[in-house]
Structure 1
Amino acid sequence: MRYIAKSLLLATTALGIAVAPGTGSAGAAQTGPQSLYAPSALVLTVTAGDDAVNGSVLRAVTLTCKPKAGGTHPDAGAACTQLRAQGARFESIVTADSGVLCTRQWDPVTVTADGVWDGRRVAFTHTFGNSCLKEGADGIVFGF
Structure 2
Amino acid sequence: MRYHLVRTGAITTLTTLLMTGTAAMGVAHARPAQPAGLYAPSALVLSVGEGSGSATSVTVQRAVTLSCAPRPSGTHPSPADACAELRAVNGEFAQLTTPLPQGSCTRQWDPVVLNATGVWQGRNVSWSATFGNACEMQASLSAGPVFAF
Verify same fold: TM over 0.5.
yes
Partner residue in 1 for 2:81:
78
How many angstroms apart in 2 are the aligned matches of 1:71 and 1:121? Answer: 18
Of 25, 31, 34, 1:26 maps to 31
User: Deviation of residue 82 (structure 1)?
Assistant: 0.5
Greater Rg by CA: 2
How many angstroms apart in 1 are the aligned matches of 2:130 and 2:79? Answer: 23
Give yes or no for the alignment of 1:68 onto 2:71.
yes
Of 25, 40, 45, 1:43 maps to 45
User: Deviation of residue 98 (structure 1)?
Assistant: 8.0
Identity %: 47
What amino acid maps onto 1:46 in structure 2? V
How many angstroms apart in 1 are the aligned matches of 2:49 and 2:96? Answer: 17
How many angstroms apart in 2 are the aligned matches of 1:77 and 1:70? Answer: 7
User: Deviation of residue 46 (structure 1)?
Assistant: 0.5
CA offsets per residue over residues 63-90 of structure 1, 9 Å max, x none?
0011110100111111100000011111
User: Deviation of residue 99 (structure 1)?
Assistant: 8.8
**C-alpha RMSD of the superposition:** 2.6
Correspondence 1:118-137 to 2 at 5 A: 118-137=121-140
Partner residue in 2 for 1:88:
91
CA offsets per residue over residues 13-62 of structure 1, 9 Å max, x none?
xxxxxxxxxxxx737xx6x716xxx7101000101021232111100000
Correspondence 1:97-136 to 2 at 5 A: 101-136=104-139
Give yes or no for the alignment of 1:142 onto 2:144.
no
How many angstroms apart in 2 are the aligned matches of 1:119 and 1:100? Answer: 40
2:57 aligned counterpart, secondary structure: coil
Length, aligned pairs only: 116
Higher strand share: 2
CA offsets per residue over residues 101-143 of structure 1, 9 Å max, x none?
2111111100000000011110001001110111122221111
How many angstroms apart in 1 are the aligned matches of 2:84 and 2:36? Answer: 23
Cα–Cα, structure 1 residues 80 and 126, in superposed 2: closer, same or farther, change >3 Å?
same
Higher helix share: 1
Unaligned runs of 5+ in 2: 1-29
Cα–Cα, structure 1 residues 100 and 83, in superposed 2: closer, same or farther, change >3 Å?
farther
